[in-house]
Amino acid sequence: MLAKRIIPCLDIRNGQTVKGINFVDIKEVGDPVELAAKYAADGADELCFLDITATHEGRKTFVELVKRIAAHINIPFTVGGGISELGDAEKLLAAGADKISINSSAVRNPKLIDDLALNFGSQFVVVAVDARGDENEHWTVTVNGGRIPTDKELFSWAKEAEDRGAGEILFTSMNHDGTKNGFANKELSKMADMLKIPIIASGGAGAEEHFVDVFTKGKADAGLAASIFHYNEIPIPVLKKYLKDKGIVVR
């Protein structure tokens, strides 16, 4: 059986791992390669690195970092942040990234998904979708960390991304992100019934049982989280054992 994946996500600024809450009080806390190696040794199934650097120099540093990650880490990893054209993706592929994640740039220019899939294969293209639901359960796609609403609706956008050649959807519910009350299982499940590509769930992880729910009720293929792993609230080996005991297939 295909195992459910656990994916720690690392935010990177100027080549360093950073930790912060809602972009406030961001602190640089060390070498991403060291942290990534620890997660890989702990049993993480994949890793995700998001570049939150704004400057040109910082972007170059990120590409150098991706090379170091590729040299040291023996599991697949996705990189994202600031990829808006084929050339950006090509640099990251050449540096050794297994997949790239695009978000705002895909919303602005959906054809980017087609171009990336055509040039590098669907397996290389993760489309990240941040969305917020209102009281009528209408889910609006947002950009810039959930701050700016767009005219796109979550489910139709996810389907469009699949049709254009996305290999995976990384869905973050802005309603759940940071709450630690569990993932958006209802929406994830609806999406899983609609799409033929794997779905990575993000936003809301706070306890071991949230991962059981996201894989059963939410029908997700992978669960992504940041703070619970960074602050060692749930060590990966503990989480994996818990999932196994609950009958979830994990490696």
- Catalytic residue chosen out of the listed positions 130, 177, 213, 221: 130
Q: In terms of CB distance, is 25 or 193 closer to another protein?
A: 193
**At its nearest, how many Å lie between another protein and the CB of residue 149?**
29
Q: Which residues lie near another protein (CB under 8 A)? A: 1-3, 5, 40, 45, 70-72, 74-76, 93-94, 96, 98, 120-124, 167-168, 192-193, 195-198, 219, 221-222, 251
- Give the chain as a 3 state SS string: CCCCEEEEEEEEECCEEEEEECCEEEEEEECHHHHHHHHHHHCCCCEEEEECCCCHHHHHHHHHHHHHHHHHCCCCEEEECCCCCHHHHHHHHHHCCCEEEECHHHHHCCHHHHHHHHHHCHHHEEEEEEEEECCCCCEEEEECCCCEEEEEEHHHHHHHHHHHCCCEEEEEECCCCCCCCCCCHHHHHHHHHHCCCCEEEECCCCCHHHHHHHHHCCCCCEEEECHHHHCCCCCHHHHHHHHHHCCCCCC
Q: In terms of CB distance, is 50 or 92 closer to another protein?
A: 92
Catalytic site includes residue 163: no
Catalytic site includes residue 130: yes
**At its nearest, how many Å lie between another protein and the CB of residue 126?**
11
- Catalytic residue chosen out of the listed positions 11, 45, 98, 213: 11
Q: In terms of CB distance, is 159 or 219 closer to another protein?
A: 219
**Which residues belong to the active site?**
11, 130
